[in-house]
Chains A and B, each alone.
Chain A
Amino acid sequence: MVVLKFNPQASLIRLRVVLVSEFKKAAVMVFDPGASITLVTPQIAEALGSEFIPSASPMSIFTAGGTARAHRLQLKSLSLYGETLAPVDALCSPLPTGLGADGLLGLNVLRHLKIGLDFETGTLTFDRIQSVSPS
């Protein structure tokens, strides 16, 4: 089981995620069960050497700021503190730089994990669920 400490008073829970495409990047992403799919910023997508899925037209996404369009891409793998999923679908869309993060960790990743959140102790725990196939 992975055990991480976080500040229970913080506005966001940020995690360090290792992303692999043509290049490998460790980036900070926001733990976001409100996102149905993982999202990375255009900067990280370009730095990874990720290409948009040619057959997939841009998708509409509903955000707090309204509807936007986002390209779909596939990461070779995404690792969260040693738990690796491969491949992983993601959308590419800008995020406010004030978030200090390069992506949102959405449900298509989080549903592979058994997650515990303890705001009393500021502890996030997770284990891999073996029976769910990668997205």
Chain B
Amino acid sequence: MNGIIDIAEMEKQFKDEWLLFEVLEVDEQDQPLKGRLICHHPDRDYVHQKDMETRYPYTYVTYTGPVIPEGIEAALWSF
């Protein structure tokens, strides 16, 4: 997982997983474009542990699975 890759393309290659990237190239809006895939795993806590072990200055964490599983609805608020 050492090569510099296109982040959007890499996101398409994994299903239902959390991905952690070291961000190496951004667009004009500071959005991640290219980087290194540090790890991928279905468990968010596993990815977090890798993030804490590596401590790169700019990382990107994302999830590639369905946002809300079928049969579940979300009602979110905090105040």
Interface residues of A (CB under 8 A from B): 2, 10-12, 14, 16, 18, 23-28, 30, 32, 34-37, 39, 43-44, 46-47, 61-64, 70, 79, 81-82, 91, 93, 97-102, 104, 106
17 A/B residue pairs, CB under 8 Å, sorted by A: A12-B67, A24-B57, A25-B59, A25-B60, A34-B76, A35-B78, A37-B79, A43-B45, A62-B77, A63-B77, A63-B78, A64-B76, A70-B78, A79-B29, A102-B61, A104-B78, A106-B78
User: Please, how many angstroms separate the alpha-carbon atoms of A98 and B23 in the complex?
Assistant: 25
Question: Beta-carbon contacts of B22-47 to A below 8 Å, as 1s and 0s?
Answer: 01000011111000000000001100
Say what secondary structure dominates the interface of chain B. loop
Interface residues of B (CB under 8 A from A): 23, 28-32, 44-45, 48, 51-52, 55, 57-63, 65-69, 72-79
Residues from chain B with a CB closer than 8 A to the CB of A81 are 29, 31
User: Please, how many angstroms separate the alpha-carbon atoms of A61 and B79 in the complex?
Assistant: 5
A43 touches B48 (CB 8 A): yes
A47 touches B51 (CB 8 A): yes
Say what secondary structure dominates the interface of chain A. mixed
Residues from chain B with a CB closer than 8 A to the CB of A2 are 29
User: Please, how many angstroms separate the alpha-carbon atoms of A10 and B77 in the complex?
Assistant: 18
Known contacts: A23-B57, A35-B79, A43-B45. The answer to whether A18 contacts B31 by CB under 8 A is: yes
Residues from chain B with a CB closer than 8 A to the CB of A25 are 58-61
Known contacts: A43-B44, A47-B51, A81-B29. The answer to whether A30 contacts B61 by CB under 8 A is: no
